[in-house]
Amino acid sequence: MAVVVQNVARAAQAVIDRLAQAGVATIHEAQGRTGMLASYMRPIYAGARIAGSAVTISAPPGDNWMIHVAIEQLGRGDILVLAPTSPCDNGYFGDLLATSAMARGCRGLVIDAGVRDIRDLTAMGFPVWSRAVSAQGTMKETLGSVNVPIVCAGAAIEAGDVIVADDDGVCVVRRAEADAVLAAAEQRLAGEEVKRERLAAGELGLDIYAMRDRLAAKGLKYV
Amino acid sequence: MAVVVQNVARAAQAVIDRLAQAGVATIHEAQGRTGMLASYMRPIYAGARIAGSAVTISAPPGDNWMIHVAIEQLGRGDILVLAPTSPCDNGYFGDLLATSAMARGCRGLVIDAGVRDIRDLTAMGFPVWSRAVSAQGTMKETLGSVNVPIVCAGAAIEAGDVIVADDDGVCVVRRAEADAVLAAAEQRLAGEEVKRERLAAGELGLDIYAMRDRLAAKGLKYV
Amino acid sequence: MAVVVQNVARAAQAVIDRLAQAGVATIHEAQGRTGMLASYMRPIYAGARIAGSAVTISAPPGDNWMIHVAIEQLGRGDILVLAPTSPCDNGYFGDLLATSAMARGCRGLVIDAGVRDIRDLTAMGFPVWSRAVSAQGTMKETLGSVNVPIVCAGAAIEAGDVIVADDDGVCVVRRAEADAVLAAAEQRLAGEEVKRERLAAGELGLDIYAMRDRLAAKGLKYV
Amino acid sequence: MAVVVQNVARAAQAVIDRLAQAGVATIHEAQGRTGMLASYMRPIYAGARIAGSAVTISAPPGDNWMIHVAIEQLGRGDILVLAPTSPCDNGYFGDLLATSAMARGCRGLVIDAGVRDIRDLTAMGFPVWSRAVSAQGTMKETLGSVNVPIVCAGAAIEAGDVIVADDDGVCVVRRAEADAVLAAAEQRLAGEEVKRERLAAGELGLDIYAMRDRLAAKGLKYV
Amino acid sequence: MAVVVQNVARAAQAVIDRLAQAGVATIHEAQGRTGMLASYMRPIYAGARIAGSAVTISAPPGDNWMIHVAIEQLGRGDILVLAPTSPCDNGYFGDLLATSAMARGCRGLVIDAGVRDIRDLTAMGFPVWSRAVSAQGTMKETLGSVNVPIVCAGAAIEAGDVIVADDDGVCVVRRAEADAVLAAAEQRLAGEEVKRERLAAGELGLDIYAMRDRLAAKGLKYV
Amino acid sequence: MAVVVQNVARAAQAVIDRLAQAGVATIHEAQGRTGMLASYMRPIYAGARIAGSAVTISAPPGDNWMIHVAIEQLGRGDILVLAPTSPCDNGYFGDLLATSAMARGCRGLVIDAGVRDIRDLTAMGFPVWSRAVSAQGTMKETLGSVNVPIVCAGAAIEAGDVIVADDDGVCVVRRAEADAVLAAAEQRLAGEEVKRERLAAGELGLDIYAMRDRLAAKGLKYV
């Protein structure tokens, strides 16, 4: 049952890059408020904003062997996404693996477990979103799989799906929907710009969005 | 049962501003070690230190409609305080709402739920203390109430109470007690300055606070 | 049962300082993947990297009296390590205690509870690893013990053990093993440097560590 | 600041007893989906269903002294409700205190902390809803208050409020609203009986509640 | 995006019933240690052991409207499986919905949220595995979907997959794999019976499974 | 570093059995409110009350191989105590291992991880106190150690220490202190009986323990 799937299809790089620009919050709205990983996934440092195609890893608790296998499967611009088969906060990944991944063009790591060498990863500019920071080490004894469907932090992810991550967390976009989601996201961004100006000028959302009648109809009372 | 209470009494702005200067840890001590919100309430960026009058929001899980209503009730220098009616980590608040709130003079948000657009809020200098960061969006389908008494992160808060927040967390001061708490806090700060100098010079707390006899009486043994 | 143990043996200062340089992740590996405190122990600010001999404190929930007692037991270069006798997130420690501890040469605090005055501690450069940040205050009513064996964040620690802490968390090294662990850690660091260069040049861990045969033998399939 | 408030007003006993019969889920609905304590409050054994007037206790972490004080304030049919001033899972209450409380007519305990002597309490038929079960003991060193307003498991409770508790959890009813809530609850129960029969006969809620048109209007699609 | 998928394929009822007999722990082993939902999913009463085809529900936080829609989609022997779109512990389901579901032949509920009316559900013999027990009610304002793929308690589940649940938790078996998993499970059970007798007679697993050589080869030392 | 320590000293069986009778809450008080494991350690069924000498197991996350090794080290009346080297909720132990352990005279299991086959273990009368119930299986790939010092659920435990467990949780008594703790516990029990009768008769703890003067001296006010 331990397999490595090769030849994974990916979305167009230009689309992926523009998804990164749109940011997690906008993309998540643009695809109907879906795709968010759990809010316990936090970046190891502030300010990173990336997107890339998922190279997925299903790994046993306390065993990071499959990361070495996955790195060989990386294309330029990809993101490693690891889910343990049961909850584990061990530090699966550190600066040596990051060095190797960066040499292959990897843009970052999303891991529903722990990461370590935070100081080095920050200095290298290799962003990680994780459930935990932990120096507690791992083994290389048991197989897992690469590029199989996984559930990572509550979200179903397949190899080649687009991962977008920034300070707000991590969002997954189905590969086949990347173009449509990008279009919706960019339309949304344009609309927000107009609203931002009106709100900054002191207009109220109650008026811009014409909410007063609907609030009254639902029974809101001012006292 | 969905109401918006208007015309909320507030403490004097000068008192509020000096409470911000005193800081959360001192104020909490000055009012008898009471008033702290739960320690899971964390700032989205380090270094902010604010105080303001609470505009309270009771909101259903996954629904941020009432924030639009609450923004209209903001006075200059106020702080939005939101408690969901059941635990929810959704991102109720982002940069558009912050733009609107800032235009009304709002100093920050305290929310026992999630917040998003962290990068933008940080760039705007709009501080938030929250239970979670999450881009997971919300609806505008169900009413809640504004300026009613709420329980936020374990603390009972009424509209017009003074909220003080900094890197140590969030504290609430009853509106009617703001003057007395400020007096006690400033007296405390003055006393601390003297102690700080003595401690920095190497004197021990055991001697400054005359603890040795009481420790011996309780039975402490040196071996 | 409340005792203060004096005259605690310590490791050599030079060894301790080199352990700090090696860092938590390396030391933990060098001693067979043991010694880590739980991953919920987080630094109050990024970038600190310290080591020192443990002055241990066993304290009741909500009572920080024993910290004053422990400060008198500090030698230059020591680290305070506090475990409450039952889980408690109160802010046991703030800037006044830090002033006193620094005057005695203390390098930092590891506390399986809460800490406060984060802004001041950061400005002073006094690093703390804690389970929580909380301004919620404590009492001085009940005795505890100093320099007795404790369990802190899941790790058994004795007075005089070496504590190493950085952005990856906190690790304990038995005093008697400090020399051997340092030797193993430095050997490990030397080996890592070579691997880092090869990985940066694009060689794969699969080849450097000769993993391909063992993976195949265990049954990994490429599809 | 440590006070014991005496002469607390209570709701009529007959009303309280009928609230117990209605049960937590119904009462909570009858008062607009409000009043629930957090879902981590669990009964120590299944099947208990009680209501009574709250005698409230605000206690320091790890100190149960005030429970002795509160027992003197119990009237027949009352319920003890304890909130620690900061989170604590210590076993504040066991079989001796239960013996004393039962001798005063107390119907049970609601405690946002720990309880112990579970086997004995079960044998005695003294129900407890708690956050934790723990034999970890407490002190009698520090004062708290009795019959002051508290926040217990996220709900604001005043002395004399009616507490209703069963296998579904714990709910608070404001003393002044007890009559109205009871009326609404009993009306609700009557209506439910009719619905239960129709549903048991195989009719669908979609039809009984006439939901199909509203679902279609909101855009639900059958595929 | 709110859809109800009809005409879902199901596994053979006889296979499903034998999967229930095999039990969760055995089935999970038989399919390569996969398929378990998170361990926080607990039964509301001990002793239930069921299997059935999943009717899946994706519901907004705090809104149980879609359960009414899902009940119409139930076939005899099915199991309702609900995942909220963000974490929520509200009591989505109680005795009226259970009455309706039982009238349609439903065998139980698996819900990554809260349930209520525990006493009634237990008396009715309607088993539920849930993340929480809570009387906190829900709305009927917002659409979700029925019989779409969901992630429930960390496991990806599609409509028609077989759900097996007992005191050990909940496991999902892909519909297409049900026959093969059953065969492997029953073979496993047969083998376990033999081992149980040898172990009961005092033979050691070390000998039955011939572990001693492998332990020695890995370096285990007896001292 | 993987070792099995043989020839572990144990306390006298008669002392151990009387410790079981005294119960966890009393023993914990009798040894100065120390020795409790964390309150998340819960029994799989109510009513069990055992004591025995600890056979300790340090196991990697997700690997139960060492349990087979430990069973050979069991003496009649012993208790297995397992701590994973990092947090893990996998089901390390089920009915086959219990059959084997019971054949060796084992009285129960204390495990800071998961257990499975709950229905069978309950039917067999083999009690377990655990952090989780989970059918998620484990490997047999990596060594650990038996009868070495461990930290289990926050308590330091050595092989041969006495473990006492009942519905209130789990407590450890140092082997060398077993006689003294038993004496203190039995004295305590005798004293409690007298108090229980007085409290049942309606006397108040305030009077029995002569608390009124001390409360007044500390400043308690009746209003």
pLDDT tens, residue by residue, E157-198: 999 999 999 999 999 999 999 999 999 999 999 999 999 999
Backbone angles phi, psi at E47, to 5 degrees: 100, -15
Q: Which residues of C are less than 8 Å from D139 in CB distance?
A: 60, 141-142
Low-confidence ranges of chain C (pLDDT < 50): none
Mean per-residue pLDDT, A92-118: 97
Q: Is D101 exposed, middle or buried (0-12, 13-18, 19+ CB in 10 A)?
A: buried
Angle at D86 between CA D85 and CA D88, to 5 degrees: 115
- Which residues on chain A are in Cβ contact (under 8 Å) with B7? none
- Give F118 to chain C, closest Cα distance, Å: 27
Low-confidence ranges of chain D (pLDDT < 50): none
Size of interface C-D (CB pairs under 8 A): 43
**Left, alpha or beta for B163 (phi > 0: left; psi -120 to 50: alpha)?**
beta
Query: D1 to chain F, minimum CA–CA distance in Å?
Result: 8
Residue D92 to residue F112: CA distance in whole angstroms: 24
Interface test mutation site (partner C, options A136, A143, A148, max chain C beta carbons within 10 A): A136
Do at least 3 CB pairs under 8 Å connect A with E?
Answer: yes
Substitution target in F58, F64, F88 with the highest count of A β-carbons within 10 Å is: F88
Chain F residues inside the 8 Å CB shell of A136: 85-86
- What are the distances in angstroms from CA D179 to CA B1, D158, D192, D194? 18, 17, 20, 24
Give yes or no for a contact between C44 and C118, defined as CB atoms under 8 angstroms apart.
yes
Identify the H or E element spanning F14. Answer: helix F13-22
Q: Is B88 left (phi over 0), alpha (psi -120 to 50) or beta?
A: beta
Cα D161 to Cα D79: distance, rounded to the nearest angstrom = 10
- Min Cα distance E51 → chain F (Å) is 16
Please name the residue of chain F whose CA is at the shortest distance from the CA of residue C33.
Answer: F85
Structure letter (DSSP) for residue E154: T
Chain F residues in contact with C85 (beta carbon < 8 A): 33-34
The per-residue pLDDT for B1 is 77
Closest C-alpha among A27, A151, A20, A121 to residue A77: A20
Query: Which of E1, E87, E155 has the CB atom closest to A151's CB atom?
Result: E155
Which chain E residue is nearest to residue F119, measuring alpha carbons?
E167
Chain B environment of D35 (Cβ under 8 Å): none
**Parallel, antiparallel, or unpaired for β E42-43 and E128-133?**
antiparallel
Chains C and E contact (Cβ–Cβ under 8 Å for 3 or more pairs) = no
**Amino acid of residue F219:** G
CA–CA separation, A110 and A34 (whole Å): 18
Query: How far does D104 lie from chain F, in Å, by closest CA?
Result: 7
Give the best residue of E58, E138, E139 to mutate against chain B (max B CB count within 10 A).
Answer: E139
Q: Measured between CA atoms, how close is C58 to chain F, in angstroms?
A: 11
Interval B189-203: pLDDT, tens: 999 999 999 999 999
Contact indicator for C109, D110 with CB cutoff of 8 Å: no
Question: Distance between CA F20 and CA F165 in Å, rounded?
Answer: 7
Query: Are D130 and D115 spatial neighbours (Cβ–Cβ below 8 Å)?
Result: yes
**Do residues D53 and D13 make contact, with C-beta atoms less than 8 angstroms apart?**
no
Residue-averaged pLDDT of chain A: 97
The pLDDT value given to residue D1: 77
Beta-bridge partners for B169: B166
Q: What are phi and psi of A85, to 5 degrees?
A: -75, -10
Best of D37, D86, D88 to mutate (most B CBs within 10 Å, chain B): D86
Number of helices and strands in chain F (H, E): 8, 12
Q: What percent of chain A has pLDDT over 90?
A: 98
Strand A150-152 and strand C155-157: the pairing is unpaired
Do residues D139 and D65 lie in contact, with contact meaning Cβ atoms separated by under 8 Å? Answer: yes
Contact A34 E85 (CB under 8 A): yes
Q: How far apart are CA E85 and CA B91, in angstroms?
A: 13
Rounded Cα distance, C115 and C131, in Å: 8
Hey, what are F46's tokens?
């109510």
E167 bridge partner residues: none
CB contact under 8 Å between C221 and A122, yes or no, is no
The residues facing B145 across adjacent strands are B58
Backbone angles phi, psi at D47, to 5 degrees: 100, -15
Q: Is the pLDDT of residue A202 over 90?
A: yes
List chain E residues with CB under 8 Å of B136: 85-86
pLDDT, residue A1, reads: 77
Contacting residues of A for F139, CB less than 8 Å apart? 60, 141-142
Q: Which of B85, B86, B141 sits opposite E141 (nearest CB)?
A: B141
In this complex, the chains that touch D, judged by 3 or more CB pairs closer than 8 A, are B, C, E, F
Residue of A134, A139, A142 best to disrupt the C interface, most CBs of C under 10 A? A134
Q: Which residues of A touch E (CB under 8 A)?
A: 1, 32-34, 36, 38, 85-87, 149, 151, 154-156
Q: Which of F32, F87, F155 sits opposite C151 (nearest CB)?
A: F155
Residue C172, phi then psi, degrees to nearest 5:
-110, 140
| Alpha carbon distance E216, E206 (integer Å) | 12
Chain F residue closest to E207 (CA)? F68
Residues of E with CB under 8 A from a CB of D: 2-6, 45, 65, 68-69, 71-72, 89, 91, 94-97, 99-100, 102-104, 114, 116-119, 122, 132-137, 140, 143
pLDDT value for F1: 77
The phi-psi region of residue C213 (left if phi > 0; otherwise alpha if psi is between -120 and 50; otherwise beta) is alpha
Rg, C-alpha atoms of chain B: 20
Which residues does chain D have within 8 Å of residue C89's beta carbon, measured at their own beta carbons? 86-87
Of A69, A100, A132, the CB nearest to C199: A100
What's the gap in Å between the CA of E191 and the closest CA on chain F?
11
Q: What are phi and psi of D79, to 5 degrees?
A: -125, 135
Interior angle at CA B206, CA B204 and CA B211, nearest 5: 165
Residues from chain C that touch B218, judged by Cβ atoms under 8 A, are: 2, 143
- The reply to whether residue C151 touches residue F149, judged by beta carbons under 8 angstroms, is no
Q: Which residues of C touch B33 (CB under 8 A)?
A: 136-137
Contacts by C118-123 with C-beta closer than 8 Å and gap 24+?
C118/B46, C118/B167, C118/B168, C118/C44, C118/C45, C119/B23, C119/B46, C119/B47, C119/B49, C119/B166, C119/B167, C119/B168, C120/C94, C120/C95, C121/C44, C121/C94, C121/C95, C122/B46, C122/B167, C122/C44, C122/C45
By the 8 A CB rule, do C173 and C28 touch? no
Comparing CB atoms, the residue among B32, B86, B155 nearest residue D151 is B155
pLDDT in the model for residue C129? 98
Q: Which chains touch B (3 or more CB pairs under 8 A)?
A: A, C, D, E
Question: What residues of chain F score a pLDDT lower than 50?
Answer: none
pLDDT of E1 reads: 78
Residue type, A113: A
Position A50 pLDDT exceeds 80: yes
| φ/ψ bin of F188: left (φ > 0), alpha (ψ from -120 to 50), beta (otherwise) | alpha
Mutate to test the interface with A, among E1, E41, E151 (most CBs of A within 10 A): E151
Q: Which residues of B touch A200 (CB under 8 A)?
A: 99-100, 102-103
Tokens 């009432």: give the residue. B66
